[in-house]
Amino acid sequence: MSAAAPVGLAERAAERRARVRALLGPRGVVLLGAAPPPRAGADTELRYLADSELFYLSGCQEPQSVLVLSGSSEQPACTLFVRGRDPAEELWTGPRPSVAEARAAYGADVAYPGSELAARLPALLEPADQLYYRLGADAALDALVRKELTDARRRRPRSGQGIHTISDPGRLLDELRLRKDADEVARIRAACALTVAAFRDLRDVLRPGAGEWEIEAALEAGFRKRGASGPAFPTIVGSGAHATVLHYSENRSPVQAGELVLVDGGARADMYCADVTRCYSATGRCSPAQRALHDVVRRAHDAGIAAAVPGAEVAGIHAAAVRVLVEGLLDLRLLQGDPAALVADQDSYRRFFPHRTSHWLGLDVHDVGAYVVDGAPRVLEPGMVLTVEPGLYLSVTDPDVPPEFRGIGIRLEDDVLVTASGPEVLTATLPIDPAALFD
């Protein structure tokens, strides 16, 4: 792997570290570790995905890296441990940055080989009273932290120093990551643009008889050929009743004539994610039942996006979509009763719409950030990015659903940036009509 960080990323990371250090205080330390490359079996190394938190504070995407961010004036502000050069290993897995190259590329004050971590970590943690570390992320690093905690407990009574509290790094980082800076917005825009362009490629493969796997392959090839590192999550291609399975990802059946095909995918570009869902007719024509359900979900989708304005509660996006879905289900006689009572009674509609309408989007496809703060729904602010994705899923075996509606699953999803002037749909150029690929 090259140690060259994207232009401007090192500077952005330094700004973020400064903001975190201001929150740490003189006796706080953040310890972030990146896992080793994943493996299948004894010796098959799988594609590596960098740790989001470590990347956010450094730009580093090297496996097994460790970042120590200290609030103490007695310690380097940012210490980085990396694997360093290993010609024998690099023959198999490609070039690595040297320790000096990594220090320069990622803006660390000091850097060391990962082999020195166990010897140097105690001194780096010695001034700390509060350690921000995610237990369970890496067994080897966990063992070092537990040893330091045990040693601190023994020496604290006489020295007055040593770790007293371990907290999740998200207590410091989640709120920062939730509000995207200009660089992050640009990277998410790029991921969205790649995703939209790749979805348009499906016109060449989506037809009766095509394998769900062919559609998956075409979409992900579209991501890669435009510069993405790959999909942000396992691509969902659900034809017919498979679309009623929320996270269906087997993608192993041929598309039948008359079926709708739900495609949920997104590119990861420069570490940032997109997430889009469309439902397409394999022939360009829909049955009346398919069209009616799609129209209901489309109205709910539009209502949810309209609710994504600064100063509004994030829960209001879901509420707006649910109201429209319930009204549509009543019109189609799939629900009966008073609209307000049905909205209030979640069990009434959750058999058709069991998930929430939005999630945060960024370095992770389900990005960090609380939806409830101090017992109240989060209020939206400019710079937040989230999905809007209502859906309806009618089981093929539900005897209470008229036969023409059974086995239809529809979800429509776009990525939305909250701005001072309202919602900006970052994926708006992708047509949403089920016959769009044939227009």
Are residue 210 and residue 112 in the same domain, yes or no?
no
* Catalytic annotation present for 264: yes
What's the mean pLDDT in 75-85? Answer: 95
* Catalytic annotation present for 142: no
What's the mean pLDDT in 275-301? Answer: 96
Residues 297 and 411: beta-carbon distance below 8 Å = yes
Q: Which domain holds residue 36?
A: 9-176
pTM for this model (two decimals):
0.94
Quote the pLDDT of residue 3.
57
Task: From the candidates 366, 371, 398, 433, give the one annotated as an active-site residue.
Answer: 366
Task: From the candidates 359, 378, 414, 415, give the one annotated as an active-site residue.
Answer: 359
Are residue 171 and residue 250 in the same domain, yes or no?
no
Quote the pLDDT of residue 1.
44
Tell whether 2 is covered by a domain: no
| Phi, psi for 170 (deg, rounded to 5) | -60, -25
Are residue 161 and residue 287 in the same domain, yes or no?
no
What's the mean pLDDT in 374-386? Answer: 97
Are residue 150 and residue 233 in the same domain, yes or no?
no
> In angstroms, how far is the first alpha carbon of the chain from the final one?
43
Q: Which residue has the higher pLDDT, 168 or 439?
A: 168
* Catalytic annotation present for 43: yes
Task: From the candidates 19, 146, 247, 350, give the one annotated as an active-site residue.
Answer: 247
The encoded tokens of residue 304 equal: 């949810």
**The total number of structural domains that make up the chain:** 2
pLDDT tens by residue, 27-42 = 999 999 998 888 888 8
Residue 2 has pLDDT above 50, yes or no: no
Are residue 154 and residue 183 in the same domain, yes or no?
no
Task: From the candidates 62, 270, 413, 415, give the one annotated as an active-site residue.
Answer: 413
Query: Cα torsion at 273, 351, 323, 319 (round to 10°)?
Result: -50
Task: From the candidates 126, 264, 302, 327, give the one annotated as an active-site residue.
Answer: 264
* Catalytic annotation present for 201: no
Please name which of 212, 235, 213 lies closest in space to residue 223, comparing C-alpha atoms: 235
pLDDT tens by residue, 139-181 = 899 999 999 998 888 887 777 778 989 999 999 999 999 999 9
Residue 96 has pLDDT above 90, yes or no: yes
What's the mean pLDDT in 423-438? Answer: 93
Residue 86 has pLDDT above 70, yes or no: yes
**Which of these three, 153, 176, 199, is where a domain ends?**
176
Least confident span in 96-100, 149-153, 199-203, 259-263:
149-153
Are residue 365 and residue 394 in the same domain, yes or no?
yes
Quote the pLDDT of residue 74.
87
Quote the pLDDT of residue 39.
86
Are residue 17 and residue 136 in the same domain, yes or no?
yes
Outline where DSSP puts E strands in 164-286.
165-167, 230-231, 236-239, 260-265, 267-269, 272-273, 276-281
Query: Cα torsion at 400, 403, 407, 413 (round to 10°)?
Result: -80
pLDDT tens by residue, 322-348 = 999 999 999 999 999 999 999 999 899
Tell whether 4 is covered by a domain: no
pLDDT tens by residue, 107-137 = 999 999 999 999 999 999 988 999 999 998 8
Give how far Cα 136 sits from Cα of 142, 270, 428, Å.
Answer: 7, 26, 39
The percentage of residues in the chain with a pLDDT greater than 70, rounded to a whole number, is 98
